[in-house]
Amino acid sequence: DGGITQSPKYLFRKEGQNVTLSCEQNLNHDAMYWYRQDPGQGLRLIYYSQIVNDFQKGDIAEGYSVSREKKESFPLTVTSAQKNPTAFYLCASSTGTVSYEQYFGPGTRLTVT
Partner 1 sequence: QQPVQSPQAVILREGEDAVINCSSSKALYSVHWYRQKHGEAPVFLMILLKGGEQKGHDKISASFNEKKQQSSLYLTASQLSYSGTYFCGANAGGTSYGKLTFGQGTILTVHP
**Which residues 13-32 are close enough to bind partner 1 by CB under 8 A?**
31
Among 23, 89, 102, 112, binds partner 1 (CB under 8 A): 102
List the one residue from 1, 14, 15, 42 that touches partner 1 (CB under 8 A): 42
Q: Outline where DSSP puts E strands in the chain.
A: 4-7, 10-13, 19-25, 31-37, 43-51, 54-57, 64-66, 76-78, 87-94, 103-104, 108-112
75 scored as a contact of partner 1 (CB under 8 A): no
Toward partner 1, which CB reaches closer, 78 or 89?
89
Q: How far is the CB of 50 from partner 1 (least distance, A)?
A: 6
Contacts of 51 (CB under 8 A, 6+ apart): 30, 68
